[in-house]
Amino acid sequence: MTVKSTETANARLSQPWLDDFDVIRGFFDEEVHASVERLCSDNTFVDLLTSFFTMTQPGNQDDEPQDSKHHGNLKQTLHSTFSKLHNISSIAELQELTSSIASPIIDMSVSHLSFSGLDELPTDKHYLFISNHRDILMDPILLNLLLHRHNHQTAHCAIGDNLLKNHIALEFALLNKCFKILRSLTSPREILKAMKIQASYIRHLSFNQSDNIWIAQKEGRSKDNLDKTNPALIKMLGLAKPTDMLFGEYINKLNIIPVSFSYEWDPCDIDKATELELTEQQGHYQKESIEDLTAVKKGLLQPKGSVHVHFGNELLGCNIDQMKHTEIAALIDQSIAQHSKIYPVNIAATVMLDNQILKESDTELFSKEDIEKAAAELKYRLADCSKSIRKRVLLNYAAPLIREV
């Protein structure tokens, strides 16, 4: 439920501590019209989005969607969206418009979208969704699309400020209920201050506004597909707890829902493996300025095959009042791992790795033909890769079958 502009203005007058959130928060309703006007009067906004969704030139097909019909529909939707932006005056209206863009993107790049567990969550409650992180924008887009379609509030989404350096990206993200995670800070004092603000803002969204929230289980996308929640994330959430409340009791009241994203194919699979390999060889990895934008574009527009999203409710019925942050993180990991969906490519990758043994129950999940087809696609994708990159990609796809739960 979006707060009305007059209610928001009155709240800010009576609760001046809300100003502390200005450094990270998304826009209020009364700020929407001015923001939209800024975007619509900025020629670079239309140019950026148009170029982002424009087919690449022949000879550079890495970023080119396979289905030109869907891509044409997407560009038509974008042009229609631009014409409606001027009339937007609330976050809810803007999100409706964003949903109209998200649907053709998903139709174009996802062959089959499925989900489970969402129907077990009452729509009149608020949740903190903590998920594994496969794709920069597709993860929150899929989450909010499913929430919207099934009568849940869309979630306020945490996004690193490293992805919001472009003023247009920042403006559009804050219009879409995103809030900033301040990753660019280096001073320990400033980092702690930012963590306290983030924790307090999440508390405000949860208990004062009864809103849904999404945050990834650790900083950045998982490059190795080993989905481990950073215990420091859970510890950060507890920085906002009332002094008279146990840590576990407060975390329990946030209504954490572990969310497991399972993508059949990862458009950035080789890029992620290359980053890991160079980091290991050189001790660090220096991103080019264009890399995040390229990753966003690939992740949104390139084929991903089937995608499954599971909403776990294990923590809602679990007594975590006496638990430590490390134990709560382990419970989230367990839920995400147990509900990962297996695809033929996961079987094929495991078979192609040396000294990896599959359980008989795993090999019976799919036909021999499906596994062989996935293996052929893997070999084609990895044909020009070095042996070390090839192994990393195979390990990523095999992770759901060989990792420890």
Q: Is 158 helix (H, G, I), strand (E, B) or coil?
A: strand
Q: Residue 330 phi/psi, 5° resolution?
A: -65, -35
Answer whether residue 396 shows pLDDT above 90.
yes
- Nearest of 274, 245, 265 to residue 384 by alpha carbon: 274
CATH dotted code for 19-29+113-341: 3.40.1130
- Report the alpha-carbon distance of residue 127 to residue 93 in Å, rounded: 22
Rounded mean pLDDT of the chain?
86
The confidence score (pLDDT) of residue 27 equals 93
Per domain, the residue ranges of the chain are 19-29+113-341, 346-402
Q: What is the mean pLDDT of residues 309-334?
A: 92
Q: So what's the pLDDT on residue 60?
A: 40
Q: What is the chain's alpha carbon radius of gyration, rounded to the nearest angstrom? A: 22
Q: Is the pLDDT of residue 152 over 80?
A: yes
Kindly state the tokens that stand for 240.
Answer: 């906002």
pLDDT tens digits, one per residue of 29-51:
999 999 998 888 887 877 777 66
Residue 175, pLDDT above cutoff 80:
yes
Whether the predicted pLDDT of 87 surpasses 90? no
User: What percentage of the chain exceeds 70 in pLDDT?
Assistant: 85
Higher pLDDT, 161 or 44: 161
Question: Is pLDDT above 80 for 331?
Answer: yes
What pLDDT shows up at residue 71? 57
Separation between Cα atoms, residue 138 and residue 319, nearest integer Å: 32
pLDDT reported for residue 202:
97
CA–CA distance, 270 with 393 (Å, rounded to integer): 6
Give which of 325, 27, 332, 25 is closest to 198, Cα–Cα. Answer: 25
* pLDDT, tens digit (0-9, with 9 covering 90-100), for 58-73: 334 444 444 555 555 6
397 pLDDT exceeds 70? yes
H or E segment to which residue 263 belongs: strand 256-263
Q: Tokens at residue 308, please?
A: 């499954």
56 or 277, higher pLDDT: 277
- Rounded-to-integer distance, Cα 68 and Cα 34, Å: 35
Q: Tell me the two tokens of residue 227.
A: 């989905």
Percent share of the chain, pLDDT over 90: 60
Give the three-class secondary structure for 116: strand
Q: Are 348 and 378 in contact (CB under 8 A)?
A: yes
Nearest residue to 241 via CA among 230, 252, 231: 252
Structure tokens at 241: 């707890």
Tokens of 155: 């979630």
Kindly report the CA angle at 91 between 90 and 94, in degrees rounded to 5? 90
Sort residue 47 into left (φ over 0), alpha (ψ -120 to 50) or beta.
Answer: alpha
186-205: pLDDT as tens digits? 899 999 999 999 999 999 99
Q: Return the top range by mean pLDDT from 76-90, 135-149, 286-300.
A: 135-149
Give pLDDT, residue 99: 84
For every residue of 290-336, DSSP letters joined together read THHHHHHHHHHHS---EEEEEE--GGGGS--TT--HHHHHHHHHHHH
pLDDT digit string, tens, across residues 338-391 = 999 999 999 999 999 976 677 776 777 899 999 999 999 999 999 999 999 999
Report how far residue 298's alpha carbon sits from residue 302's, in angstroms, rounded to the nearest whole number: 5
pLDDT at position 1 is 33
Between CA 335 and CA 257 the distance in angstroms is 9
Residue of higher predicted confidence among 249 and 101: 249
Residue 213, strand partner residues = 128, 156
Which tens digit of pLDDT belongs to each residue from 110-130?
A: 999 999 999 999 999 999 999
3-state helix, strand, coil in the chain (%, to 5): 55, 10, 35
Q: Quick one: CA dihedral 104, 170, 137, 95, positive or negative? A: negative
Q: Which residue has the tokens 């690939």?
A: 298
Distance, in Å, from the CA atom of 216 to the CA atom of 214, rounded to the nearest integer, reads 7
The alpha carbon of residue 141 and the mean position of all alpha carbons in its chain are separated, in whole angstroms, by 7
- Residue 227 to residue 400: CA distance in whole angstroms: 9
Residue 2: pLDDT above 80? no
- The lowest-confidence range among 83-97, 241-255, 323-337 is 83-97
* Paired tokens of 119: 């129907």
- Of residues 4 and 175, more confidence is placed in 175
Residue 303 has pLDDT above 70, yes or no: yes
Q: Show Cβ contacts of residue 207 under 8 Å, excluding neighbours closer than 6 positions.
A: 253
Q: Which two tokens stand for residue 102?
A: 């998200």
